[in-house]
């Protein structure tokens, strides 16, 4: 089976560049932006050899996983562009529910459906399955030749394999019994992106996207610890604000907004290090 766009994505003018193997889908999309590509282009592969994650970390994609990067060119300002990560989170959450419904709902002890929701969105850019990292999102942006912003939304999903050399737990869809492949996940993602991007509307619709993201947020209302340059802020994950920043009610009772940091929720958020 080959990668294909969903019918709504094709109708909306999205295009596809699929590779059997690639160094980095993000790098390829950025190169095309520098060459004048006007966007609505997906670059995808199920094998990536030189991918990258946040803070310059390497992110490999084993054969059978999904590496997908969307090039979009927008007149939105930098603050609005930064919220595209939440658009991607909402779209990917919906796509996983469509493509692999058998792993979304936990099984109760009596064997019935309805034991809980297994997928959650972790601020700022991860998708969790049973608390372990299933997918990551990386935004990269440059000024396009016409003066607008060329934004690459990179999305990596552990479909067949979960990495084992990470400092945190990781999960794969196959590891929890899903039979879906990377091509089916991508097709669903291309469809769900159309809906989420239309709601975002160049940033004007971020309040609606924010509300949907919060419905799926991991750790909301619970303990959180955020490490920033060696300093740790502890408190309660209260919400995300109108620009997507994490809002923490600190132990002193003050509200602090955080743009970036290493985040730990739950028991890890209360542990003293």
Phi and psi angles of residue 238, each rounded to the nearest 5 degrees, phi first: -90, -45
Whole-number Å distance between alpha carbons of 225 and 79: 25
Q: Is the pTM of this model over 0.85?
A: yes
Whole-number Å distance between alpha carbons of 207 and 25: 29
**Which residue is it, tokens 């890890």?**
268
Contact 237, 220 (CB under 8 A): yes
Strand partners, 68: 44, 155
Q: What is the pLDDT along the chain (273 residues), one digit of tens a residue?
A: 599 999 999 999 999 999 999 999 999 999 999 999 999 999 999 999 886 655 555 556 789 999 999 999 999 999 999 999 999 999 999 999 999 998 876 543 444 444 468 999 999 999 999 999 999 999 999 998 888 999 999 999 999 999 887 778 899 999 988 999 999 999 999 999 999 999 999 999 999 999 999 999 999 999 999 998 888 999 999 999 999 999 999 989 999 999 988 899 865 544 444
């Amino acid at each position: 089976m080959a990668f294909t766009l969903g019918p709504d994505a094709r109708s909306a003018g999205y295009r596809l560049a699929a590779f059997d193997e690639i160094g980095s889908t993000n790098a390829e999309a950025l190169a095309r932006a520098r060459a004048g590509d006007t966007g609505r282009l997906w670059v995808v592969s199920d094998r990536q050899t030189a991918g990258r994650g946040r803070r310059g970390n390497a992110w490999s994609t084993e054969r059978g996983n999904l590496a997908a990067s969307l090039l979009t060119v927008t007149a939105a300002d930098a603050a609005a562009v930064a919220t595209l990560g939440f658009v991607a989170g909402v779209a990917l959450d919906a796509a996983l529910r469509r493509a692999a419904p058998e792993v979304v709902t936990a099984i109760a002890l009596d064997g019935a459906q309805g034991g809980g929701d297994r997928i959650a969105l972790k601020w700022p850019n991860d998708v969790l399955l049973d608390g372990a990292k299933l997918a990551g999102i990386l935004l990269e942006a440059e000024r396009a030749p016409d003066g607008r912003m060329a934004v690459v939304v990179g999305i990596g999903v552990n479909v067949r394999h979960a990495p084992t050399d990470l400092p945190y737990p990781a999960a794969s869809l196959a590891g929890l019994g899903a039979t879906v492949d990377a091509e089916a996940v991508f097709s669903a993602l291309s469809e769900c992106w159309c809906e989420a991007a239309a709601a975002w509307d160049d940033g004007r619709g971020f309040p609606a996207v924010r509300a949907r993201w919060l419905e799926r947020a991991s750790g909301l209302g619970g303990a959180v610890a955020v490490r920033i340059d060696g300093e740790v802020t502890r408190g309660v994950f209260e919400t995300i604000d109108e620009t997507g920043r994490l809002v923490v009610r600190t132990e002193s009772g003050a509200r602090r907004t955080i743009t970036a940091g290493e985040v730990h929720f739950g028991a890890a958020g209360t542990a003293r290090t």
